[in-house]
Amino acid sequence: MKHLKWSVLIVTAVTVLAVGITHQLIGTDNAVAQTQLQRAETQSSPRFAKAYELSDAFRQVSKHTLPAVVSIKTTGKVVRQTSNRRSPFGNDPLLRQFFNDPRFKEFMDQQEDGDEREYRMPGGQGSGFIIDSSGIILTNNHVVDDAEEIVIELADGREFKVVDVKTDARSDVAVLRIEAKEKLPSLVLGDDEAMEIGDWVLAFGSPFGLSRSVTQGIISAKGRGLTRSRLPQEFLQTDAAINPGNSGGPLVNLKGEVIGINTAISTRSGGYDGVSLAIPASHANWVANQLRDSGEVRRAYVGISMQELDADLATAFNLKIPRGVVVTGVVKESPAAKAGFREGDVILEVDGRRISNDRNMLGVVERLTIGQKYEIKILRDGREQRLNITVAERPDDLSSLENNDSGSSPGSNDEQSAEISDVGISIQNLTRDLASQLGLPSSNGVVITSVERNSPADDVGLEAGMVISRVGNHNVKSIADVEVAMRIARKAGRALYLVKLSRGNSSVARFVSVQLAERD
């Protein structure tokens, strides 16, 4: 009986232990199932569904894009240069004694004036992307400029030397070619014009040499210009982080299409400050196709100098909204001269495309077909007109071209002077001798001889030495013409001047709107 009792107790204990373990296992399974259920409910919840959809879109675009993104490493060219400066240490014997090292002496001796030395330009790194499965790569010109050797590292780690390089410095676009035995993954260039401000984009590249990096952002602005850059085209602005090494990489929309080439950043720190700029894909594609076909880029040209309109100038030209560009000069024998363009014409549309600013005008014009006729909508003397122009090829050197003279005859040879008190300037007839002294190609207009401090003229930046060639709608070649035009301007309380100033071998012209002061 005693043995039976112990058996029951043991069985009972084992049963309790088994039940405990079973409950623990069931509890574990329930916890896993509960977690999975909660995750599924979270993903299907309207509050979180959009976020997971966006995350999945980023993931899919990255998987599609990364295999076609490449890292670029360059080796600089070896150049010879004659030194024209001495070492900052000079030949001080005390320094030589302090640095009692033959290597230092050799270094010092190499720094003497007239010493010709060879040195290798610094190499660099950047990014690019494959646009043709045969091995055609698109990147920035500044990534490969002055490179002796260019090495491409694919996403899978393989490396290839570039066998052909075609570049266009004006657009900062370069096309590279490598020889691969098999077809490579490639990307499609999309329509950047269809992108809207606020659209999501991903930037790919190798910032600081960190390959296969992806950052996300939105399109912050379109048609953005670089005011301190030699690059004349417009850019896409994004807040996707771009840093040194990202240059040449693709900016991609959520369809997996390249809509820009990551090119520059606006920064005070030297790194990403929230403003990144990309060459629009449509422009890059136009350049790349010409480079691939002929090795050079041919651009169209109309033959004008122009100025962007601000709010004051728009008012002066009777425009409700400041858009378009105003013609400040017409080149002799150019397509614009033959089509009848004049100084003061405001260009509103080119071939049906609205013009917003000077960079936009350049971008539209240079991609026109050379030799073809186009209609341009202008505003002249407050009335809309349409001119037909046959565009020519852009000359290599625009600085040698001269603008047409506004007047029909040279200015008076007397040195009559006058003061325009409500503007705050003194003027003098522009003689041939004075025009020659100022470096101006013609003697049409009047020259500003002085500007009163804190006057309306001073406020808008008028300076002594500037030549006034137009007031309002009137071309001027003497003080008498200015006085007639000013009578009309005073009725409106504002004067519109076209002023010119010599800059080296050419003259720069711009319109200035001056709010007139009350006359004593």
CA gap 353, 153 in Å, rounded: 41
Q: The tokens of 3 are what?
A: 């043995």
Q: By the 8 A CB rule, do 262 and 205 touch?
A: yes
Assess whether 247 carries a catalytic annotation: yes
Q: The tokens of 261 are what?
A: 């080439």
Q: By the 8 A CB rule, do 330 and 336 touch?
A: yes
Q: The tokens of 326 are what?
A: 């105003």
Catalytic residue among 206, 247, 334, 443: 247
CA gap 459, 469 in Å, rounded: 20
Helix (H) or strand (E) run with residue 54 in it? helix 46-65
Catalytic residue among 71, 127, 142, 171: 142
Q: By the 8 A CB rule, do 247 and 196 touch?
A: no
CA gap 205, 212 in Å, rounded: 6
Q: By the 8 A CB rule, do 193 and 367 touch?
A: no
Q: 263: burial class by Cβ within 10 Å (0-12, 13-18, 19+)? A: buried
Catalytic residue among 71, 127, 171, 172: 172
Cα distance from N-terminal residue to C-terminal residue, the chain: 134
Question: Cα Rg for the chain, rounded, in angstroms?
Answer: 34
- Smallest CA-to-CA distance from 461 within 310, 305, 306, 303 is with 310
Beta-carbon contacts of residue 153 (< 8 Å; ≥ 6 apart)? 70, 71, 72, 73, 159, 211
CA gap 99, 265 in Å, rounded: 43
In degrees and rounded to multiples of 5, residue 31 shows phi and psi of -65, -45
Q: By the 8 A CB rule, do 212 and 69 touch?
A: yes
* Bridging pattern class, strands 494-503 and 276-280: unpaired
Catalytic residue IDs: 142, 172, 247
